[in-house]
Chain A
Amino acid sequence: MIPTDDQLIAQIAAGEPTALDQLMNRHGPRLMRFATHYLHSSSDADDVLQEVFLRADRAIRNGSRPDQVSAWLFRITVNRCRSHRRRWWPFVSGAAADHAIARAATTDTHEQFAWRDEIDRALSTLSAPLREAFLLKHVDGMAYDEMVAVTGASLSALKMRVTRACDQLRERLQEVRNA
């Protein structure tokens, strides 16, 4: 029988060594996708996932019992991504290349690769708050009340950010099509 998130949390608290691995296997891909697109770097995203792993482990062993495990892990991930970006912001201009190089190893055609590259570029032109709101809403499919819990931002601010992000992305993509 597959354990629930709550059962895995109880197992981690009891010192079961593989329970957190199971929890991260379940939620890690969504967290990794968000972090990769937010930071434009799969290696930076992997750094963030390691931090999330360590912080979740520490928090649960110190008595945290999150009601919504997925939202809780997302909140840690979002905070770690923000910190990572703040710490490395002056040096990240070349980080998008890392993402592109990792993707180049896939079987994309030239056109697919160019399109994905353009998406990355368009996404990177968004400010961090807009990018964060857009990814949570439209890529992870979160409801606004979940986004409030994950980001700590107000409902109206999040709606405004998502709308602005969509407008700016459309504008950017239109410029590419017209070029």
Chain B
Amino acid sequence: MHDEFVGDDPLQSVIAALREPVAVEPGLRQRAAGRATRQRRAGVARIAVLALLVLSAVAIVHRPASGTSAVTFTLRAPAGSTVALVGDFTDWRSDRLHLSPSGSGVWQATIRLRPGRYRFAYLVDHRQWRADTVAPTAPDDFGRPTSLLTVNP
């Protein structure tokens, strides 16, 4: 299987070590059942908290006549000095779109987007990468979470 490894390639011993069995602790069913109960309770609590504090959100207002839709991006970052919006629509450049402070640590920007599927993220103070807390997320090629946005026709 590892015929691409030749001679005393150290990877052979690495793989042998990593291939050693790792046991599953007995009682997986019971632990899973307990987890399901905790998740149900946490779900109720999470909805209550979200109702009180929206950390970030994407809102889409459709304007079919113009062929584009107004999309409002909102992020709560009380400690931030700048918040850039990066995504497919900025070629992932952080110098093209910035959110403006709208009070109480909340930042907002509204842009117009054509129908399509976009990936985006927020960059706080040029270094802190943040995904949207409401939109679905997927990792980019570097493993960082990015948010997914679909603008319907």
| Chain A contact residues, CB within 8 Å of chain B | 20-21, 24-25, 28-29, 32-33, 36-37, 42, 45-47, 49-51, 53-54, 57, 82, 85-86, 89, 115-116, 119, 122-123, 127-129, 135, 138-139, 141, 166, 169-170, 173-174, 177
Contacts and interface: CB of A to CB of B under 8 A. Distances in A.
Contacts of B137: 86
B32 A50 contact: yes
Given A50-B32, A170-B9, A119 B24 contact: no
A53 B18 contact: no
The 6 closest A-B pairs by CB, nearest first: A128-B143, A33-B22, A50-B32, A53-B32, A28-B24, A173-B10
Contact of B31 (A25, A46, A82, A138): A46
B18 A139 contact: yes
Given A32-B24, A49-B28, 6 more contacts: A29-B22, A33-B18, A53-B28, A86-B145, A129-B139, A170-B11
Given A29-B21, A129-B141, A54 B10 contact: no
B148 to A, nearest CB: 13
A116 B9 CA distance: 16
Interface in B9-31: 9-11, 13-15, 17-19, 21-25, 28-29, 31
B22 A32 contact: yes
A128 B140 CA distance: 10
Contact of A21 (B13, B29, B145): B29
B29 A20 contact: yes
B85 to A, nearest CB: 20
Contacts of B18: 33, 37, 119, 123, 135, 138-139
17 contacts: A25-B24, A28-B28, A29-B24, A32-B22, A45-B22, A46-B24, A50-B28, A50-B31, A51-B32, A86-B139, A116-B17, A119-B17, A122-B14, A128-B139, A170-B10, A170-B11, A174-B10
A100 to B, nearest CB: 14
Interface string B131-153: 10000010101110100000000
Contacts of B36: 54
Contact of A127 (B13, B21, B31, B142): B142
